[in-house]
């Protein structure tokens, strides 16, 4: 094998140094700048993505805060509307209750007035019925009709003593 022959060592070392230097120069001038450029581009893209993510996170937090505030405002608005509706319904119920109470009181008063009138009429007709009954009973018992004035006076006195 010629590589392991010691007489070729010097030429092999020279060619190794030349090849290494040429390869180093090619890598240093061509390949490494391209790799560095790709790495730099990647780093820039990563930094841009991180900045964009931070911006989007801030926007999301702002949107969330706005949403929560809007939701809170909507809830408080709904609660105040509910309180107003309940108060309005309570006022309406109280108003209707007062109207109903007033109407029932008028009807009760009218009924009491009708009862009083009927009672007065009944008491008035009781006197005439009692006088008529007393006149007929006396006429049957005695055989002749008593004086109408005397019967009315007796019935009135009897009704007055019964009221006491």
Residue spans per domain, the chain: 6-163
What percent of the chain is predicted at pLDDT more than 90?
62
**Res 138: pLDDT:** 83
Global pTM reads 0.44
pLDDT digit string, tens, across residues 115-155: 998 888 877 777 788 878 888 888 888 888 788 788 888 87
Task: Tell me which residue of 157, 158, 136 sits closest to 148, measured CA to CA.
Answer: 136
DSSP string, 76-137: HHHHHHHHHHHHHHHHHHHHHHHHHHHHHHHHHHHHHHHHHHHHHHHHHHHHHHHHHHHHHH
Fill in the DSSP letter of residue 2: -
| Mean pLDDT calculated for residue range 53-69 | 97
**Res 91: pLDDT:** 95
**Res 162: pLDDT:** 66
Whether residue 126 contacts residue 159, with contact meaning beta carbons closer than 8 Å, is answered with yes
Mean pLDDT of the chain, nearest integer: 90
How far is Cα 65 from Cα 70, in angstroms, rounded to an integer? 8
pLDDT digit string, tens, across residues 40-60: 999 999 999 999 999 999 999
Three-class SS state of 51? helix
Burial 104-129 (b: 16+ CB within 10 A, else e): eeeeeeeeeeeeeeeeeeeeeeeeee
pLDDT digit string, tens, across residues 87-103: 999 999 999 999 999 99
Burial 85-103 (b: 16+ CB within 10 A, else e): eeeeeeeeeeeeeeeeeee
């Amino acid at each position: 094998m010629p590589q392991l022959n010691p007489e070729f060592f010097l030429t092999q070392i020279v060619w190794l140094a030349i090849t290494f230097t040429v390869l180093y120069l090619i890598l240093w001038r061509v390949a490494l700048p391209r790799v560095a450029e790709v790495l730099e581009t990647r780093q820039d893209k990563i930094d841009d993505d991180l900045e964009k993510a931070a911006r989007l996170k801030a926007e999301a937090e702002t949107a969330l805060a706005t949403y929560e505030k809007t939701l809170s405002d909507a809830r408080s608005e709904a609660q105040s509307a509910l309180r107003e509706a309940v108060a309005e319904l309570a006022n309406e119920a109280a108003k209707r209750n007062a109207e109903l109470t007033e109407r029932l009181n008028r009807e009760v008063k009218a009924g009491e007035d009708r009862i009083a009138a009927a009672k007065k009429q009944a008491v008035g007709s009781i006197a005439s019925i009692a006088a008529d009954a007393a006149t007929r009973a006396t006429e049957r018992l005695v055989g002749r009709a008593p004086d109408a004035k005397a019967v009315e006076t007796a019935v009135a006195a009897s009704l007055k003593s019964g009221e006491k």
